[in-house]
């Protein structure tokens, strides 16, 4: 990674106050490689690292957002806003609730899925919709991570998948150690993140892990939506202090939505963007350490012993006693907006490198949406999947141990029916065992849905593709579940005293049936909103296939308009193949086969149909993961 250029000189634009006073507001010169090095009072300067990331500025022009109302009218959430931020700045977005600060951040971060107006430029170029994720990272308000993941693994995961060069891909450990230290996580590096049912790190530490993962992405621009929300004052200060270190050491532009920070936290920010509400409008955009002087120049001096940021919010919150939002909107338009518009126009003319050029200049960097090839994506996902599965007793017990127990139960229920039973007992045994294979995957859907939620947040950051995630899960979940189903079938088969002559055929059709339903449940888990909805969607389809097996509902007894179900019923094909072989040795076996309506020579057709169902279900799973449950903002 190339080091940043030295900071350029700054120009000073003087704004006159109504009372005739003047306020010198520092404006960056038109370079795209400036890293502000002037610390706020009381904040120690931070030296830039020779490993600083490529300089990337962000410019926004007339960004605005409105929503349609049911009565046909339109409600304005955010009026047109413009501004320009240089590399290395730590920027605070502040304002009352409903002012549009998170909306503005989402538009800048390319996270806003609803339509909005305006444009965003990177180094003076129109934002590349395909490559922007290569230089940007977004940290939302949710800490969505597997509970059994360890802190070091979580940060290492992002570092490995977002490394922009082959050189950095080989030095993940050093980067991870630095981030653990910077975010105060080195003491819990090997502790599980935890969750509602798993003991782990504290909420503040979890928040810092999420921030560290964002930084580990080696992005030149980082967006943080209320990273201190719900944290103690100490944890909030630690988070912002770590972000400041990253901004200055690596030249990263970090934009933070924050609400009423303590004075010690506010002093760490270089720049303040202050909005008012109803609708959202800009009231200040400039250096944080000059905001109080600007308020005073506008006739609203910060009282002694009052937190300035609290006072700023009181001034721009409509309806409060100190509300002066109208005054500050007008003052902004008269004093600051002309210079800001000039700076925006200058940034559009003095263009730096495009994202494509930045990648081309980085040794070993891959072109395209993802920083690493598919094989490395799969490798990292497989490693994580194996680790969290082995640490989760539920993930092992449900697919492996529970089927074994059920195999013993079914075997005992039909003890030695192969030698002593009648054809009706054999049919009941096969039906019950096949039904258990069909129903076994229902209990695994909640785990798949939870993993899907992790995946959607991570794929939205272009860490990996959905296909890599599906393949990694398939390589762990399916063998585990397959082993459990195989033990279930074998144990029940032996205890029931079935003739070993039929074992190979029995095992083949039972396992083929299992794979069909495992694929089917994967589709349901990819489509359903939650586990409850998944069960509601799966149950009717499963019930139909289980009933249309030739004995409960036969081909001769089914209504003519429903007989097509037998063509796609995996249970029907499995029962037919087994009973054609087993039934003739029992009295009345031939009669039952004739009554069922089975047709000779359909076994190959059954294998082909079931194989096609497996492929179709897996493709539908991938399509559903790409199509549904995308994060809407």
Mean pLDDT of 44-57: 82
Structure-token pair, residue 590: 């031939």
Residue-wise pLDDT tens digits, 422-479: 888 999 999 999 999 998 888 889 888 988 988 999 999 999 999 999 999 999 999 9
DSSP secondary structure code for residue 192 in this structure? B
Give the model's pLDDT for residue 75: 92
Q: CA-to-CA distance for 283 and 280, rounded, in angstroms?
A: 9
Residue-wise pLDDT tens digits, 402-438: 999 999 999 999 999 988 878 889 999 999 999 999 9
DSSP string, 357-414: HHHHHSTTPPPSS-SS-HHHHHHHHHHHHHHHHHH-HHHHIIIIIHHHHHHHHHHHHT
* 484 contacts 391 by C-beta, under 8 angstroms: no
Average pLDDT, rounded, for the chain: 87
Mean pLDDT of 184-203: 91
Instruction: Decide if pLDDT at 510 tops 80.
Output: yes
Q: CA-to-CA distance for 623 and 467, rounded, in angstroms?
A: 9
* 268 contacts 43 by C-beta, under 8 angstroms: yes
Instruction: Decide if pLDDT at 540 tops 60.
Output: yes
Give the model's pLDDT for residue 570: 94
pLDDT top residue among 385 and 6: 385
CB-based contacts of 603, cutoff 8 Å, min separation 6: 573, 576, 577, 580
Residue-wise pLDDT tens digits, 553-579: 888 888 889 889 999 999 999 999 998
Instruction: Decide if pLDDT at 370 tops 60.
Output: yes
Residue-wise pLDDT tens digits, 82-125: 999 999 999 999 999 999 999 999 999 999 999 999 999 999 99
Residue-wise pLDDT tens digits, 603-626: 999 999 999 999 999 999 999 998
Confidence of residue 229 (pLDDT cuts 50, 70, 90): confident
CB-based contacts of 611, cutoff 8 Å, min separation 6: none
* 120 contacts 110 by C-beta, under 8 angstroms: yes
Helices (H), 279-373: 291-297, 308-316, 325-331, 337-349, 355-361
Instruction: Decide if pLDDT at 293 tops 90.
Output: yes
pTM to 2 decimal places: 0.85
pLDDT above 90 coverage of the chain, percent: 63
Give the model's pLDDT for residue 6: 34
CB-based contacts of 599, cutoff 8 Å, min separation 6: 555
Give the model's pLDDT for residue 20: 33
| C-beta pairs of 526-535 under 8 Å, 24+ apart in sequence | 526/448, 526/452, 526/620, 526/621, 526/624, 526/625, 526/628, 527/624, 527/628, 528/445, 528/449, 529/629, 530/449, 531/445, 531/446, 531/449, 534/445, 534/446, 534/449, 535/442, 535/445
Mean pLDDT of 483-488: 94
In order of their start, the domains of the chain are 10-18+28-135+221-296+327-361 (3.40.50.300), 145-218 (no CATH), 374-627 (no CATH)
Angle at 130 (CA atoms; ends 127, 133), nearest 5 degrees: 80
């Amino acid at each position: 990674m190339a080091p940043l250029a030295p900071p350029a000189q700054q120009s000073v634009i003087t704004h006159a106050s109504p009372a005739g006073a003047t306020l010198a507001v520092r404006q960056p010169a038109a370079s795209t490689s400036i890293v502000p090095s002037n610390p706020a009072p009381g904040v120690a300067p931070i030296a830039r690292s020779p490993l600083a990331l490529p300089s990337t500025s962000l410019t926004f022009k007339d960004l605005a957002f409105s929503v349609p109302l049911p009565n046909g009218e339109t409600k304005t959430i955010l009026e047109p806003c413009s501004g320009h931020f240089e590399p290395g700045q730590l920027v605070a977005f502040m304002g009352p609730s409903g002012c549009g600060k998170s909306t503005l951040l989402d538009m800048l971060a390319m996270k806003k899925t609803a339509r909005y107006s305006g444009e965003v430029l990177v180094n003076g170029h129109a934002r590349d919709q395909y490559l922007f994720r290569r230089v940007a990272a977004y940290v939302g308000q949710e800490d969505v991570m597997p509970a059994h993941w360890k802190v070091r693994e979580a940060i290492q995961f992002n570092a490995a998948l977002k490394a922009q060069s082959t050189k950095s891909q080989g030095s993940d450990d050093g980067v991870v150690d630095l981030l653990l230290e910077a975010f105060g996580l080195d003491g819990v590096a090997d502790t599980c993140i935890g969750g509602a049912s798993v003991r782990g790190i504290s909420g503040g530490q979890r928040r810092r892990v999420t921030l560290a993962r964002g930084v580990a992405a080696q992005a030149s621009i980082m967006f943080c939506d209320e990273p201190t929300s719900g944290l103690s004052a100490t944890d909030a200060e630690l988070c912002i202090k770590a972000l400041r270190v990253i901004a200055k050491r690596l030249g990263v532009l970090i934009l933070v939505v924050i609400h009423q920070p303590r004075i010690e936290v506010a002093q760490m920010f270089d720049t303040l963007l202050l909005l008012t509400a109803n609708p959202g409008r800009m009231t200040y955009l400039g250096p944080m350490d000059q905001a109080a002087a600007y308020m005073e120049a506008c006739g609203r001096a910060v009282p002694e012993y009052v937190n300035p940021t609290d006072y700023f919010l009181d001034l721009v919150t409509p309806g409060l006693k100190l509300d002066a939002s109208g005054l500050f909107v007008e003052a902004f338009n008269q004093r600051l907006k002309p210079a800001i518009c000039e700076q925006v126009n200058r940034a559009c003319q003095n263009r730096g490198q495009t994202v494509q050029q930045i990648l081309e200049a980085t040794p070993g960097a891959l072109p395209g949406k993802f920083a690493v090839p598919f094989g490395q994506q799969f490798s990292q996902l497989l490693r994580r999947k194996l680790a969290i599965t082995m640490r989760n007793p539920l993930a092992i017990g449900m697919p492996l141990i529970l089927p074994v127990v059920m195999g013993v139960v079914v075997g005992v229920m039909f003890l030695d029916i192969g030698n002593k039973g009648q054809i009706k007992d054999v049919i009941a045994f096969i039906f019950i065992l096949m039904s258990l294979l069909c129903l076994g995957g229902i209990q695994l859907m909640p785990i798949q849905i939870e993993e899907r939620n992790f995946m959607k947040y991570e794929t939205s950051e272009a860490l990996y593709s959905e296909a890599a995630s599906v393949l990694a899960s398939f390589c762990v979940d399916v063998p585990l579940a397959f082993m459990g189903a195989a033990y279930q079938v074998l144990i029940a088969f032996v205890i029931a005293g079935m003739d070993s002559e039929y074992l190979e055929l029995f095992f083949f059709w039972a396992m083929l049936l299992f794979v069909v339903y495992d694929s089917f449940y994967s589709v349901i888990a990819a489509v359903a909103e939650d586990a409850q909805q998944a069960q509601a969607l799966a149950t009717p389809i499963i019930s139909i296939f289980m009933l249309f097996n030739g004995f409960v509902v036969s081909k001769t007894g089914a209504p003519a308009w429903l007989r097509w179900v037998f063509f796609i019923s995996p249970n029907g094909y499995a029962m037919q193949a087994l009973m054609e072989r087993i039934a003739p040795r029992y009295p009345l076996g031939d009669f039952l086969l004739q009554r069922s309506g089975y047709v000779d020579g359909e076994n190959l057709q059954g294998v082909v149909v079931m194989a096609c169902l497996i492929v179709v279900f897996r493709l539908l799973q991938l399509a559903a993961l790409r199509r549904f449950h995308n994060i809407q903002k």
